[in-house]
Structure 1
Amino acid sequence: MPAVRDLRTLLMLSGFRRLLAVRLLSQFSDGVFQVALATYVVFSPEKQASPAAIASAMAVLLLPYSLVGPFAGVLLDRWSRRQILCYGSLLRAALAATTAALMAAPLAPPLAGSVPDGLFLLSALCVTAVNRFVLAGLSASLPRVVDTEGQLVLGNSLTPTAGTLAATAGAGVGLLAGAVGLAGPRGTSADAATMLAAAFGYVCAGLAALRIAHAALGPDPGPSPPRLLATAAGTVSGLLAGLRHLAARPVAARALASMAALRFCYGALTVMMLMLCRYAWTGSGDDGGALTLLGLAVGISAAGFFTAALITPWAVSRLGRLGWIALCSTAAALLVPLLVLPFRKETVLAAAFLVGLTTQGAKIATDTVVQSAVADDYRGRVFALYDMLFNVAFVTAAAAAALVLPPDGRSTTLALAVTALYALAAAAVFHVKHRAPASRPAPVSRETSS
């Protein structure tokens, strides 16, 4: 088969293999790190998790991707990308080890109870901020390790998928280690050990980067670039220009606003699910069981994401892009209260599948709406804004949920508020669909990232 032959040719390129190895090690460690952070904040026996603590952890994991991301390219076009991969990985290892030490410090008699949560979260925030540069560096380096445009397309298809699978495997290892640790007597020390495992993985990623030649990944020497502050200011100016361009295209702007509303709902329901798993559905002290239940919920939601990737092209071909977004919002508005409000484990897990399917289905269609409506020379800036909006909506939802949710996670108020937001998103998209000029549906991206 041609695809298999092309893949074999790509994997024969030593530069590509080495860059892929860095990505796999890096993202595997990311998965371990994220689970170690989550289990410490939510499931440690020594800590009484609250919605506010969960919201803080989500901000640590997501905000750097939004706030640092647009500026990462400024440095990637100035500094050796191979050195960024190497030193960035080693810096993450040091920061993750520091985070592990802060996890374990309250157990040590000289420091018992003296480490503030803010210091721990700041250390974890630095890990994810550096991580954004490393991931951007991996993407920017890919064209330097392939020979043809066809190989670049295949590489762009293979490497994010392989990285996601590696992160999922790392998360699985972290969940297993966390469940075993919570079932035993080690408590927070198990979370610290898992965090140290992530630090070791980052060290391996940094060492793997050293196998790549210093100048192989670019950037090429050239005229002196503009001053750093001027370039950063230009990035801000570019984002504002992208925002003005988007404002002049109401169909794309409304689709993005509706997607932000669905992402907000997804974030609020995620915090509710965490609290239900931690307190409402498992017995007191059964933190290992709670973590296992959360893993099941994450897996069911991921199945919804995968199903959305399969059925969205078919649905868009019949309903149109805006019609499919509206149907996803309507289905969530009708079914989420029926499934969530009993607060039964079985029905809420079914809601996790539904919310995963509708959120990702709407996102795939929204991606296509934006790609079609936005001029090519503005597309990168608009998608940078899209990325910021996507993550900020999730973090804002977590913060809002922290204000509403009771300790056990059962909140009729939050469930009804989410239902109303789904209904408003559906109404807004229906309004745009009937006012927008008719057009043939564009080919739909099969992107499956959350």
Structure 2
Amino acid sequence: MGAVGAINKVGARRLFAGGGFRRLLASRFAAQWGDGMFQAGLGGAVLFNPERQADPIAVAIGLAVLLLPYSVIGPFAGAFLDRWDRRRVLVVANLLRGVLVVVTAAAVGAGIAGVPLYAGALLVMGVSRFVGAGLSASLPHVVDRDHLVEANAVAATLGAAVAAVGGACAIALRPVLGVDNTGSALVTGFAVLGSLVAAVAAARFARGELGPDEFDEPPQTMVAVAHGLADGGRAAARTPTVAAGFAALLTHRLAFGVSTLVGLLLMRYWFTDGAVFRAGIAGVGQAVAGGAAGMLVAAVVTPPLVSYFGRRRAIAGALVVAAAAQLGLGLLLALPTVVIATFVLAGAGQVVKLSLDAAVQQDIGDEVRGRVFALYDTLFNVAYVVAVALAAFVVPADGYAPGLLATASVVYLVGLIGYLTVERPDRG
């Protein structure tokens, strides 16, 4: 059936009839393929390169480098996305990212480690988060308001799957190009192709076609930048559907961050190859594929779940499923169950994310939507990095930490309570 089955209510032909939606998908998919390629290439260079050693702190730093940049860039990006032509932003940002990918790959090839390498990765992923927020803020300009849930199911979920494909491409290229610094550099450098294709796809839009239609910011750009995060926070706080969704998604990211660190260490140091499932970077690839499959299933089930049960019950149910999977599968600490748990947790988290995406796009005005998405992405990544950082100080070097996984299950239940407290029963 595929992820396109998620749009059964509208029909694939009707949703894809708009050329704008197809062009935006092309830009998004190319960018996310490049992101997956870059992250897997750089992750392999740092975590699974025999020329380098990785302990929990090193893994945490690497994940922070890949995900934390937007906590700094978010306020700036939000203001710019609600002030500048989003089409131009997407073109320029993608081209800039391509240049930074090449520079970072060269640093990997030269054997550079520490601050210089991390700085290059920070810049690449910072620009990537800028692009992601711009694409999300632009979606209501190419899709009717009534079809945003279905469009989000396709765009966000297939985009995540394409990112997983990019990661799989990087993993497949490693044994071909080499697992040393030179091979890692070549693998990482291939990510530039995604940036170039994304820029070309974005350039096909007309000027102003992606918004913003209007803006309410002060004339001084720096003042607008300074106000970006606060404006997004106020808009989210006064919208119960969005504020409650933030609470649900942030607790998922906290729990998932703990699980990610434990899983990576288990793959590197604890697990051994089985008949079907593999340890090492091949095992990481299988887990990523499991997570992508979970997201695809979420794309299929989220629209009917929201339509039949309402957004409130769909999100609450996803948190309950995630808590049960974390406790029932993760605690077994066996290679097959970890992959299966990744499938369930990624799928449940995607149900929450798709529902929150629609809430922001439907309930937040276009004049401030970019700033809310910037705040959204900021908190999304900060929660994950904070969880990884805290777990890194207590997790054993080999990753065998059932107590941490049990704690993550409790975090999901805390998120459920927070969500139900903030969300109103009469909201959809």
TM-score, length of structure 1 as denominator length: 0.74
The residue number in structure 1 matching 2:5 is: none
Deviation sequence 1:404-447 (CA, Å, 0-9, x none): 211211013312322332343345556x39xx7653x63xxxxx
Q: Secondary structure at the match of 1:407?
A: coil
How far apart, in 2, do the equivalents of 1:328 and 1:367 lie? Answer: 15
Q: Which stretch of structure 1 is more off in the superposition, 83-92 or 34-43?
A: 83-92
Quick one: which of 34, 45, 49 aligns to 1:29?
Answer: 34
Q: Over alpha carbons, which structure has the higher Rg?
A: 1
Q: Say whether the 8 Å CA contact 2:160–2:292 is kept in structure 1.
A: no
Q: Say whether the 8 Å CA contact 1:371–1:379 is kept in structure 2.
A: no
TM-aligned CA deviation for residue 270 of structure 1: 1.2
TM-aligned CA deviation for residue 310 of structure 1: 3.6
Q: Secondary structure at the match of 2:190?
A: helix
Matching of residue 172 in structure 1 with residue 159 in structure 2: no
The residue number in structure 2 matching 1:190 is: 183
Q: Secondary structure at the match of 2:399?
A: coil
Quick one: which of 388, 398, 407 aligns to 1:398?
Answer: 388
How far apart, in 2, do the equivalents of 1:78 and 1:316 lie? Answer: 33
Q: Say whether the 8 Å CA contact 1:78–1:225 is kept in structure 2.
A: no
* 1:305-324 alignment, distance < 5 Å: 305-312=295-302, 321-324=311-314
The residue number in structure 2 matching 1:112 is: none
Deviation sequence 1:212-271 (CA, Å, 0-9, x none): 788987889x9x97121122233244134336525xx5x864553243222211111011
How far apart, in 2, do the equivalents of 1:142 and 1:324 lie? Answer: 23
TM-score, length of structure 2 as denominator length: 0.77
Q: Say whether the 8 Å CA contact 1:16–1:142 is kept in structure 2.
A: yes
Taking structure 1 as reference, are residues 215 and 252 closer, same or farther at Cα in structure 2, changes over 3 Å only?
Answer: closer
TM-aligned CA deviation for residue 45 of structure 1: 1.3
Matching of residue 291 in structure 1 with residue 281 in structure 2: yes
Structure 2, unpaired ranges of 5+ = 1-7
Taking structure 1 as reference, are residues 382 and 208 closer, same or farther at Cα in structure 2, changes over 3 Å only?
Answer: closer
Quick one: which of 226, 229, 232 aligns to 1:233?
Answer: 226
Quick one: which of 129, 132, 137 aligns to 2:129?
Answer: 132
Q: Say whether the 8 Å CA contact 2:247–2:419 is kept in structure 1.
A: no
Q: Secondary structure at the match of 1:68?
A: helix
Q: Secondary structure at the match of 2:54?
A: coil
Q: Secondary structure at the match of 1:52?
A: helix
Q: Say whether the 8 Å CA contact 1:242–1:378 is kept in structure 2.
A: no
Identity between Structure 1 and Structure 2 (%):
37
TM-aligned CA deviation for residue 297 of structure 1: 1.1
How far apart, in 2, do the equivalents of 1:281 and 1:296 lie? Answer: 13
How far apart, in 2, do the equivalents of 1:25 and 1:360 lie? Answer: 20
Deviation sequence 1:145-165 (CA, Å, 0-9, x none): x7x969x97988876666555
How far apart, in 1, do the equivalents of 2:403 and 2:203 lie? Answer: 53
Count of aligned positions: 414
- Per chain length, whose mean CA-contact separation is higher, i.e. which structure has more relative contact order (CA < 8 Å, sep 6+)? 2
Deviation sequence 1:78-136 (CA, Å, 0-9, x none): 66666544543333222212211221212xxxxxxxx3412101101111222334445
Taking structure 1 as reference, are residues 160 and 97 closer, same or farther at Cα in structure 2, changes over 3 Å only?
Answer: same
Q: Say whether the 8 Å CA contact 2:80–2:225 is kept in structure 1.
A: no
Q: Secondary structure at the match of 1:404?
A: coil
* 1:122-271 alignment, distance < 5 Å: 122-136=119-133, 163-164=159-160, 166-181=162-177, 186-203=179-196, 205-206=198-199, 226-242=219-235, 244-245=237-238, 249=240, 253=243, 256-271=246-261
Q: Which stretch of structure 1 is more off in the superposition, 94-103 or 421-430?
A: 421-430
Q: Secondary structure at the match of 1:131?
A: helix
The residue number in structure 2 matching 1:280 is: 270
Q: Secondary structure at the match of 2:238?
A: helix
Amino acid at match of 1:349: V
How far apart, in 2, do the equivalents of 1:327 and 1:19 lie? Answer: 31
Matching of residue 101 in structure 1 with residue 113 in structure 2: no
Taking structure 1 as reference, are residues 128 and 16 closer, same or farther at Cα in structure 2, changes over 3 Å only?
Answer: same
Superposition RMSD in Å: 4.4
Q: Say whether the 8 Å CA contact 2:333–2:402 is kept in structure 1.
A: no
Amino acid at match of 2:402: T
Taking structure 1 as reference, are residues 356 and 245 closer, same or farther at Cα in structure 2, changes over 3 Å only?
Answer: same
How far apart, in 2, do the equivalents of 1:294 and 1:306 lie? Answer: 18
How far apart, in 1, do the equivalents of 2:357 and 2:116 lie? Answer: 37
TM-aligned CA deviation for residue 366 of structure 1: 5.3
Taking structure 1 as reference, are residues 155 and 96 closer, same or farther at Cα in structure 2, changes over 3 Å only?
Answer: same
Q: Say whether the 8 Å CA contact 2:257–2:384 is kept in structure 1.
A: yes
How far apart, in 2, do the equivalents of 1:409 and 1:97 lie? Answer: 33
The residue number in structure 1 matching 2:4 is: none
Q: Secondary structure at the match of 1:262?
A: helix
Amino acid at match of 1:178: R
Deviation sequence 1:159-190 (CA, Å, 0-9, x none): 66665554343222112112545xx5x42222
Q: Say whether the 8 Å CA contact 1:339–1:351 is kept in structure 2.
A: yes
* 1:3-22 alignment, distance < 5 Å: 10-11=18-19, 22=27
The residue number in structure 2 matching 1:447 is: none
Deviation sequence 1:182-216 (CA, Å, 0-9, x none): xx5x4222210011212354345556767778898
Structure 1, unpaired ranges of 5+ = 107-114, 443-450
How far apart, in 2, do the equivalents of 1:265 and 1:227 lie? Answer: 40
Matching of residue 39 in structure 1 with residue 44 in structure 2: yes
Matching of residue 117 in structure 1 with residue 114 in structure 2: yes
How far apart, in 2, do the equivalents of 1:118 and 1:34 lie? Answer: 17
Quick one: which of 421, 428, 450 aligns to 2:411?
Answer: 421
The residue number in structure 2 matching 1:349 is: 339
Taking structure 1 as reference, are residues 342 and 180 closer, same or farther at Cα in structure 2, changes over 3 Å only?
Answer: farther
TM-aligned CA deviation for residue 317 of structure 1: 6.6
